[in-house]
């Protein structure tokens, strides 16, 4: 992938600026006070330990879903189904959280996470196999599986895994399976550190190992180009790369769900709603398909999201405005033609070569 | 001589971010002449023609058609002014017949508002007859030969009343015989008062067909001359900016032990049809074996079978005493067989990856580039930069994506990678396709160097000149078989053309 260049930063900053102006207009037009909204947005995102902790909590699953998505993209598979993996990962991590007793804290948490990741990975096995052996577009099959996942977990919470006679929910996980919440009045938990670790690990594997090179040899762009003739020509089995990439992607999606249940919700219930799998696609692109970029973009998105809750609570502006703004921002950041267009200005070129000097 | 000017592009300047594609270009074509436009890739020919055809707008300059200044800001305007263009990549609907393709978008209507097929057929056949084209109105393009498809493209422009025809590298896909036919067609067109602009990089053809020639280099016109007053050598040095050796310099081959022996090889193509039908050949250390032939006669499948990308249906491929007919590409590569594939952008490279990532495709797993699965990026960088230097890959940094390179430089990345791991056998398929003269020379030298260092080379190319100049022994492939083995020093081009068309002695 392209590393971040000066152009990209310029476009992102300009995008932020224009987004702010549009937001200003939108908020004024709906009869609200933009500076008040800005104040609460800032306070909700960054002011005080609790808000910062909550922002980091919001970022936790996003780091993982974005990493999961970008891994599949870079393998050449267009996986849209991370949300599905997240659901099933959450369900089964929660199940393991109450089903296995008499375990120590670390072994129980590890077991729950491994089960969540395995189920999340298996969820992606079918679309991977269908793609490789039957030519079924992974875009279509993973989108469909997102719906299947919602219905499946809803059935399980209602039927086989139901513990609560009143509400369709599983039993609460045991204390040994809990990821610890560190700050009072915040759902921020140690899962955040797992997420950051996984993203950094992904960065290392993708960019610094031959395994990562083999995975990427068939893709590495915003377009799914599996099956890649380049890989098979080099003698790298592109089928295996495609399947492996999808399984890793699904496992990380399952991990995102597992951390939500083990660290924040502590049980699985029918109405539990995830959309971080979809946000992860946008954040993955915002972070230029690099895990480190995904961490940064997730932290930003998490803060804005938490600020959005604050705005919603304190003013008449609905928090959906945040989604509108983020979407506008992504339009700008992914506008490659604008980025390319900047090349004609000598100053941009100069800055670009200045910042890229230390590369190979 | 006082000829009328059909086209005058005056002081055209066009720049893209970071590149000046055309710089004060003055290009003048007389009415009724065949005017060749030559230059290396990236010399600005295409940009100039795109400006004339309304695809691009110039930053500065003026376009005069028949003496009148015109602003051509879309293709429709160009067509209305009588300009027609036949692109290198054909724009035909495969499941349509010639008349259907020609009429597409401008179908004559009958009184009930439906397509008047009969009228269309007649109109097309009339034009075809007038210019002496042979057209089968019932033949679908998918079943038509490349030559027929090209004639259909030319008819399409004539149907739209083109008086000025731009032919972009029209001979790249033709056999020598088809090229001769095309030249006859071009001469008829000119006799009927049309003007033809002929874009090419084959200078021999320029000398044969064109009246005048404009040479471009680096966005500027280097010279305009009448072909009778110039020579291939002069044009070539104008194109490249230095003297070019058109002949490949090499000594007599000194073949030693046999390295590869292909025995009765049969291969099916992607559609399940037999493409290779019983090929026998051998390659020895220290020689370059060429395979000539019109594309689509089984060369691609032969190469794919040799490199493990396609399973042979029958036969043996014995490499250093071992049958590798059912080996995987990986095992074949590990046996030091290098492969420069014909399809550069999808097979030979992943253009999304950086230059260095493409350069290490056959060596990433070995020390010191990586150890225990982890890259030593410093060593990788040294390796990549050395190849960049050795093979003269023009790029500011090896971290750039391959897709930002020109076609010639992309090919150099492939060649550099494939020749870097000291191969015993190098299989090069169309190694200089889309590469400009200066770089062709370099690639040929590298192949000869491989040979002189004791390697064996199989060179498969649709460019007859290339095979004849580089190979020590040439097999002509026709309909899946090698119909003739020749010594390139002992046969001439027209003789080869006959073999390539399937005519036996």
Q: Percentage of residues in chain B with pLDDT exceeding 70?
A: 97
Higher pLDDT, B278 or A356: B278
Best of B303, B305, B350, B410 to mutate (most A CBs within 10 Å, chain A): B350
Helix (H) or strand (E) holding B27, with range, is strand B19-30
End-to-end CA distance of chain B: 47
Q: How far apart are alpha carbons B83 and B77 in whole angstroms?
A: 9
**What is the mean predicted confidence (pLDDT) over B74-88?**
90
Residue A244 C-alpha, separation from nearest chain B C-alpha, in angstroms = 16
Higher pLDDT, A9 or B6: B6
Please tell me which of the candidates B347, B375, B380 has its beta carbon nearest to residue A229: B347
Contacts of A233 in chain B (CB under 8 A): 307, 309, 329, 339, 341, 347-348
Residues B338, B421: contact at Cβ < 8 Å?
yes
Q: How far apart are alpha carbons A196 and A189 in whole angstroms?
A: 12
A92-101, A105-114, B66-75, B418-427: least confident range = B66-75
Residue A346 C-alpha, separation from nearest chain B C-alpha, in angstroms = 9
Q: How far apart are alpha carbons A34 and B498 in whole angstroms?
A: 80
Q: What tokens does A343 get?
A: 């090349």
Q: How far apart are alpha carbons A159 and A150 in whole angstroms?
A: 14
Per residue, the 3-state secondary structure of B154-197, as one string, reads HHHHHHCCCCEEEEECCCCCCCHHHHHHHHHHHHHHHHCCCEEE
pLDDT at A234: 93
Q: The domain at B5-240 falls in which architecture?
A: 3-Layer(aba) Sandwich (3.40)
pLDDT at B504: 66
Contacts of A244 (CB under 8 A, 6+ apart): A75, A215
Neighbours of A47 (CB within 10 A): 14
pLDDT at A2: 46
Contacts of B352 in chain A (CB under 8 A): 1, 219-221, 225
Residues A67, A120: contact at Cβ < 8 Å?
no
Flag if B17 and A340 touch (Cβ within 8 Å). yes
Residue A341 C-alpha, separation from nearest chain B C-alpha, in angstroms = 7
pLDDT at B457: 96
Residues forming a β-bridge with B354: B401
Residue A229 C-alpha, separation from nearest chain B C-alpha, in angstroms = 5
Flag if A210 and B373 touch (Cβ within 8 Å). yes
Please tell me which of the candidates B343, B374, B397 has its beta carbon nearest to residue A360: B397
Domains B5-240 and B283-312+324-500 share a fold: yes
Residue A65 C-alpha, separation from nearest chain B C-alpha, in angstroms = 23
Residue B318 C-alpha, separation from nearest chain A C-alpha, in angstroms = 20
Contacts of A337 in chain B (CB under 8 A): none
Please tell me which of the candidates B352, B373, B399 has its beta carbon nearest to residue A209: B373
Strand pairing class (B312-319; B322-323)? antiparallel
Q: Is residue A237 part of a domain?
A: yes
Residues B412, B391: contact at Cβ < 8 Å?
yes
For B324-364, write each residue's pLDDT tens digit. Answer: 999 999 999 999 999 999 888 888 999 889 999 999 999 99
Contacts of A340 in chain B (CB under 8 A): 17
Please tell me which of the candidates B17, B341, B346 has its beta carbon nearest to residue A344: B17
Contacts of A228 in chain B (CB under 8 A): 350
Residue A230 C-alpha, separation from nearest chain B C-alpha, in angstroms = 4
- Residue A211's SS3 state is helix
CA distances from B474 to A354, B461, B468 (A): 52, 11, 7
Residue B420 C-alpha, separation from nearest chain A C-alpha, in angstroms = 14
Flag if B357 and A213 touch (Cβ within 8 Å). yes
| Closest among B40, B121, B46 to B409, alpha carbons compared | B40
Q: Is residue A189 part of a domain?
A: yes
Q: The domain at B283-312+324-500 falls in which architecture?
A: 3-Layer(aba) Sandwich (3.40)
pLDDT at B183: 92
Domain that residue A225 falls in: 58-297
Please give the residue of chain A at the shortest CA–CA distance from B308. A233
Residues A295, A20: contact at Cβ < 8 Å?
no
Helix (H) or strand (E) holding B127, with range, is helix B117-130
Flag if B374 and A232 touch (Cβ within 8 Å). no
Flag if A217 and B361 touch (Cβ within 8 Å). yes
Residue B405 has pLDDT above 90, yes or no: no
Residue B434 has pLDDT above 60, yes or no: yes
Q: How far apart are alpha carbons B486 and B505 in whole angstroms?
A: 12
Residues of chain A with confidence (pLDDT) below 70:
1-4, 222-226, 336-344, 349, 352-360
Best of A70, A209, A234 to mutate (most B CBs within 10 Å, chain B): A234
Residue A2 C-alpha, separation from nearest chain B C-alpha, in angstroms = 8
Higher pLDDT, B403 or B276: B276
Q: How far apart are alpha carbons B425 and B418 in whole angstroms?
A: 10
Whole-number mean pLDDT of chain B? 89
Flag if A208 and B333 touch (Cβ within 8 Å). no
Residue B409 C-alpha, separation from nearest chain A C-alpha, in angstroms = 18
Residues forming a β-bridge with B223: B215
Contacts of B374 in chain A (CB under 8 A): 208-210
DSSP type of residue A102: S
Residue A39 C-alpha, separation from nearest chain B C-alpha, in angstroms = 41
Q: Is residue A115 part of a domain?
A: yes
Higher pLDDT, A128 or B501: A128
Residue B373 has pLDDT above 70, yes or no: yes
A264-268, B76-80, B394-398: least confident range = B394-398
| Closest among B264, B345, B354 to B312, alpha carbons compared | B264
Q: How far apart are alpha carbons A183 and B362 in whole angstroms?
A: 51
**What is the mean predicted confidence (pLDDT) over B299-317?**
94
pLDDT at A1: 38
| Closest among B30, B62, B27 to B44, alpha carbons compared | B27
Q: What tokens does B335 get?
A: 């046996």
Flag if A210 and B380 touch (Cβ within 8 Å). no
Flag if A233 and B348 touch (Cβ within 8 Å). yes
Full-model pTM: 0.77
CA distances from B55 to B22, B46, B234 (A): 15, 10, 32
Flag if A2 and B401 touch (Cβ within 8 Å). yes
Residue B349 C-alpha, separation from nearest chain A C-alpha, in angstroms = 6
ipTM for this model: 0.85
**Which sequence spans correspond to the domains of chain B?**
5-240, 283-312+324-500
Flag if B18 and A344 touch (Cβ within 8 Å). yes
Flag if A230 and B346 touch (Cβ within 8 Å). yes
Contacts of A301 (CB under 8 A, 6+ apart): A58, A59, A62, A279, A283, A286, A326
B333 in contact with A at a CB cutoff of 8 Å? yes
pLDDT at B501: 75
Residues A59, A320: contact at Cβ < 8 Å?
no
Alpha-helical (H) ranges within B270-406 are 299-306, 329-334, 355-359, 377-390
Contacts of A348 in chain B (CB under 8 A): none
Q: What tokens does A326 get?
A: 């983020």
Contacts of A341 in chain B (CB under 8 A): 17
Contacts of B367 (CB under 8 A, 6+ apart): none
pLDDT bracket for residue B245 (50, 70, 90): low
pLDDT at B169: 84
Residue A221 C-alpha, separation from nearest chain B C-alpha, in angstroms = 6
How many contacts (CB atoms, under 8 Å) link A and B? 91
Flag if A220 and B385 touch (Cβ within 8 Å). no
Please tell me which of the candidates B329, B334, B381 has its beta carbon nearest to residue A232: B329
Neighbours of B382 (CB within 10 A): 14
B346 in contact with A at a CB cutoff of 8 Å? yes
For B375-393, write each residue's pLDDT tens digit. Answer: 999 999 999 999 999 998 8
Q: What tokens does B432 get?
A: 């200089």
Q: How far apart are alpha carbons B475 and B483 in whole angstroms?
A: 7
Flag if A360 and B385 touch (Cβ within 8 Å). yes
Residues A318, A23: contact at Cβ < 8 Å?
no
B384 in contact with A at a CB cutoff of 8 Å? yes
Flag if A230 and B329 touch (Cβ within 8 Å). no
Q: Is residue A321 part of a domain?
A: no
pLDDT at A353: 65
Please give the residue of chain B at the shortest CA–CA distance from A230. B347
Domains of chain A: total: 1
Q: Is residue A178 part of a domain?
A: yes
Contacts of A349 in chain B (CB under 8 A): 18
Please tell me which of the candidates B343, B350, B370 has its beta carbon nearest to residue A217: B350
Best of B352, B414, B418 to mutate (most A CBs within 10 Å, chain A): B352
pLDDT bracket for residue B279 (50, 70, 90): very high
For B188-231, write each residue's pLDDT tens digit. Answer: 999 989 999 999 877 888 999 999 999 998 889 999 999 999 98
For B443-463, write each residue's pLDDT tens digit. Answer: 999 999 999 999 999 999 988
pLDDT at A225: 61
B363 in contact with A at a CB cutoff of 8 Å? no
Flag if A360 and B350 touch (Cβ within 8 Å). no
Please give the residue of chain A at the shortest CA–CA distance from B376. A208
Q: Is residue A232 part of a domain?
A: yes
Helix (H) or strand (E) holding A64, with range, is helix A48-75
């Amino acid at each position: 992938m392209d590393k971040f260049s000066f152009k990209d930063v310029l476009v992102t900053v300009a995008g932020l600026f224009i987004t702010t102006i549009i937001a200003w207009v939108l908020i004024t037009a709906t009869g609200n006070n933009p500076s008040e909204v800005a104040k609460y947005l800032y306070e909700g995102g960054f002011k005080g330990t609790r808000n910062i902790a909550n922002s980091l909590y919001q970022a936790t699953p996003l780091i993982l879903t974005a990493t999961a998505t970008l891994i599949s993209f870079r393998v050449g598979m267009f996986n849209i189904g991370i949300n599905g993996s997240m659901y099933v990962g959450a369900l089964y991590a929660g199940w393991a959280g109450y089903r296995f007793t008499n375990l120590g804290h670390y072994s129980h948490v590890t077991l729950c996470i491994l089960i969540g990741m395995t189920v999340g990975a298996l969820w992606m096995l079918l679309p991977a196999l269908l793609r490789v052996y039957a030519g079924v577009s992974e875009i279509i099959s993973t989108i469909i599986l997102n719906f299947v996942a919602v219905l499946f977990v809803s059935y399980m919470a209602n039927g086989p895994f139901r513990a609560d006679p009143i509400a369709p929910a599983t039993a609460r996980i045991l204390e040994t399976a809990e990821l610890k919440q560190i700050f009072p009045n915040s759902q921020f938990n140690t899962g955040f550190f797992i997420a950051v670790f996984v993203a950094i690990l992904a960065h290392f594997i993708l960019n610094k190992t031959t395994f990562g090179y083999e995975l990427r040899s068939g893709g590495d762009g915003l377009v799914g180009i599996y099956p890649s003739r380049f890989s098979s020509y080099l003698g790298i089995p592109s089928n295996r790369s495609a399947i492996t990439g999808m399984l890793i992607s699904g496992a990380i999606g399952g991990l995102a769900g597992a951390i939500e249940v083990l660290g924040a919700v502590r049980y699985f219930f029918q109405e539990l709603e995830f959309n971080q799998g979809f946000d992860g696609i946008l954040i993955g692109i915002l972070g230029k398909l690099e895990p480190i970029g995904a961490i940064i973009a997730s932290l930003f998105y998490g803060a804005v999201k938490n600020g959005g809750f604050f705005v919603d609570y304190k003013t008449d502006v609905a928090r959906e405005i945040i989604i509108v703004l983020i979407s506008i921002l992504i339009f700008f950041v992914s506008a490659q033609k604008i980025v390319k267009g900047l090349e004609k200005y000598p100053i941009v070129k100069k800055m670009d070569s200045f910042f890229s000097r230390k590369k190979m | 001589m006082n000829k009328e000017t059909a086209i005058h592009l005056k002081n055209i300047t066009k720049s893209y971010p970071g590149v000046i594609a055309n710089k004060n270009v003055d290009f003048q074509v007389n009415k009724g002449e065949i005017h060749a436009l030559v230059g290396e890739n990236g010399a600005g020919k295409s940009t100039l023609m795109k400006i004339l055809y309304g695809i691009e707008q110039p930053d500065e300059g003026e376009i005069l058609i028949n003496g009148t200044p015109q602003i051509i800001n879309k293709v429709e305007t160009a067509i209305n002014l009588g300009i027609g263009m036949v692109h290198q990549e054909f724009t035909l609907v495969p499941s349509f017949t010639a008349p259907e393709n020609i009429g597409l978008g401008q179908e004559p209507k009958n009184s009930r508002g439906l397509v008047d097929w009969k009228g269309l057929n007649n109109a097309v056949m009339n034009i075809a007859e007038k210019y002496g084209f042979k057209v089968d109105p019932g033949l679908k393009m998918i079943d038509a030969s490349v030559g027929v498809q090209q004639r259909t493209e030319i008819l399409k422009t004539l149907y739209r009343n083109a008086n000025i025809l731009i032919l972009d590298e029209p001979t790249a896909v033709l056999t020598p015989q088809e090229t001769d036919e095309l030249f006859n067609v071009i001469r008829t067109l000119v006799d009927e008062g049309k003007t033809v602009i002929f874009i090419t990089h084959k200078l021999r053809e320029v000398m044969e067909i064109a009246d005048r020639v404009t040479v471009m280099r680096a966005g500027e016109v280097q010279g305009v001359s009448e072909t009778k007053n110039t020579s291939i050598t002069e044009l070539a040095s104008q194109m490249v900016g230095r003297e070019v050796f058109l002949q490949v310099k090499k000594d007599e081959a000194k073949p030693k032990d046999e390295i590869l022996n292909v025995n009765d090889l049969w291969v099916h193509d992607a559609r399940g049809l037999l493409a290779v039908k019983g090929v026998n050949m051998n390659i020895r250390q220290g020689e370059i074996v060429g395979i000539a032939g019109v594309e689509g006669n089984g060369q691609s499948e032969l190469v794919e079978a040799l490199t493990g990308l396609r399973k042979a249906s029958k036969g043996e491929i014995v490499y250093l005493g071992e049958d590798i007919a059912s080996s995987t590409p990986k095992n074949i590569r590990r046996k030091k067989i290098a492969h420069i594939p014909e399809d550069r952008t999808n097979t030979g490279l992943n253009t999304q990856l950086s230059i260095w990532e493409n350069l290490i495709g056959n060596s990433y797993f070995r020390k010191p580039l990586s150890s225990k699965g982890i890259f030593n990026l410093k060593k990788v960088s040294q390796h990549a930069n050395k190849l960049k230097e050795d093979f003269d890959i023009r790029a500011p940094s090896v971290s750039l994506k391959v897709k930002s390179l020109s076609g010639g430089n992309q090919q150099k990345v492939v060649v550099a990678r494939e020749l870097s791991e000291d191969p015993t056998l190098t299989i090069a398929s169309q190694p200089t396709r889309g590469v400009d003269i200066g770089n062709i020379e370099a690639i040929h030298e590298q192949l000869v160097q491989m040979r002189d260092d004791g390697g064996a080379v199989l060179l498969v190319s649709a460019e007859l000149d290339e095979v004849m100049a580089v190979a020590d022994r040439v097999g002509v492939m026709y309909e899946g078989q090698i119909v003739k083995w020749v010594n390139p020093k002992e046969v001439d081009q027209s003789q080869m053309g006959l073999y390539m068309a399937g005519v036996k002695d």
